[in-house]
Structure 1
Amino acid sequence: MPRRGYHHGNLRQALVEAAIRLIEEKGPQGFTLSEAAKDAGVTPAAVYRHFEGREDLLAEVAKQGYAIFGDLMEHAYEQGQPSAIASFEATGRAYLAFARKFPGHYQAMFEAGLSLARDPDLARGAARAQAVLEKAASGLADRLPPDRRPPAAMFSAHVWAMSHGVVELFARGSPGTRAPFPPEELLETGIGIYLRGLGLIAPDE
């Protein structure tokens, strides 16, 4: 029996929600369109009225995920203001919070192998989230002398990679059960080491 059907003609969103549930259970490559249709309570043929194929459905999940992610990142940045360091650290924590609360969206965005070039809306969503992290990084980088100032894009990419690594190794799935420290603590200390290396915070902070 399907877990929930669609109502009032909102089949497109019902299929998205079915895909999210299946991604959480099986991963972004572990389900078929037929399974999504069954979960939504419709025939497989009905899927093609709204999506060209499985990748199209995954792209819609990712687009909706980026919208949520962008909102969380912007909120985190604003909550940290006017401190550049607080805003920067908050955006990293928002990454972990998003991965934990929205695992289906997260996997569609970062583990499904989707090309951002396939859809302008998908690319815009990803760019919006990246821009928030770059803004936070730029606020810190501006405090460094020009000859020691890394590009904001590189600065933000380092923290994005650190956040992603913590999520993949310790915040999702079975590896997380073996983590010696909470994911938030791992990320916070990692960011602290990175910022100390750049001379942006004192050794005893």
Structure 2
Amino acid sequence: MAKRGYHHGNLREALIAGCLRLIEEKGPTGFTLSEAAREAGVTPAAVYRHFEGREDMIAEAARQGYEIFADLMEHAYDNGKPTPLSAFEATGRAYLAFARRFPGHYVAMFESGISIQRTPELHAVATRAMGVLEKAAVELSMQIPPEKRPPPQMFSAHIWALSHGVVELFARGSPGTKSPFPPEDLLESGIGVYLRGLGLIPPDR
């Protein structure tokens, strides 16, 4: 592959783009740093000017993914409008939409084994993303009598787990896990069952 001329930090982004393509194709542990360099059209030595190694590159892909993810979640939540319930449900749909649109980032974030504690920047943006769902849970749970109200962190963790499960099992083309229902319907109905059990959705809805 011919070497490309990169200027003003473009090489760093080209390396991340190549890393994301390889993650989608081979998984987060299925490629070498040399392959990532080849994707960007540079020598492996050039990679070390920007990253300490493959995991450092994947961590940056995860950080960028969390930035996109947090923005999408905040947009979906829209400060709890038009109602806390509809805003909460929108965050679940945003999770599924992100996984489908940004599969490389999704894998780097959730399936690479990279800890969100790896760098302060990664931890900060991951916390921001998770905080959107927790804030949505706090607002919605205010409608539940205090004695029946689950901790907001548990509330949001349940929905996070449900969303993640639907993505992993049914939205990423995993062999042997086809569902007769679209992933969007599975997620929406699952969230509906959960919220109905908390008394937040009328039984006839």
TM-score, reference length from structure 2: 0.95
Q: Is the 8 A contact 1:19 1:36 kept in 2?
A: yes
Amino acid at match of 2:158: H
Q: Which residue of 2 aligns with 1:90?
A: 90
Deviation at 1:8, TM superposition (A): 1.9
Distance 1:177 1:151, change over 3 A: closer
Q: Which residue of 1 aligns with 2:124?
A: 124
Moved more, 41-50 or 173-182: 173-182
Is residue 2:22 matched to residue 1:8? no
Structure-2 separation of matches of 1:58 and 1:164? 20
Q: Is the 8 A contact 2:169 2:177 kept in 1?
A: no
Deviation at 1:173, TM superposition (A): 2.4
- The correspondence of residues 101-140 of structure 1 with structure 2, limited to 5 A, is 101-140=101-140
Q: Residues 66-94 of structure 1: CA distance to partner in whole angstroms, max 9, x if unpaired?
A: 00000000000018613111011000000
Distance 1:20 1:5, change over 3 A: farther
Amino acid at match of 2:155: F
Structure-2 separation of matches of 1:197 and 1:5? 57
What SS is found at the alignment partner of 1:85?
helix
Q: Which residue of 2 aligns with 1:169?
A: 169
- The correspondence of residues 187-198 of structure 1 with structure 2, limited to 5 A, is 187-198=187-198
What SS is found at the alignment partner of 2:128?
helix
Q: Is the 8 A contact 1:100 1:172 kept in 2?
A: yes
Distance 1:196 1:66, change over 3 A: same
Structure-2 separation of matches of 1:175 and 1:120? 37
Distance 1:201 1:137, change over 3 A: same
Q: Is the 8 A contact 1:5 1:39 kept in 2?
A: no
Q: How many residues align?
A: 204
- Report the aligned-residue RMSD: 1.6
Moved more, 101-110 or 81-90: 81-90
TM-score, reference length from structure 1: 0.95
Distance 1:17 1:23, change over 3 A: same
Q: Is the 8 A contact 1:80 1:90 kept in 2?
A: no
Q: Is the 8 A contact 2:23 2:104 kept in 1?
A: yes
What SS is found at the alignment partner of 1:163?
helix
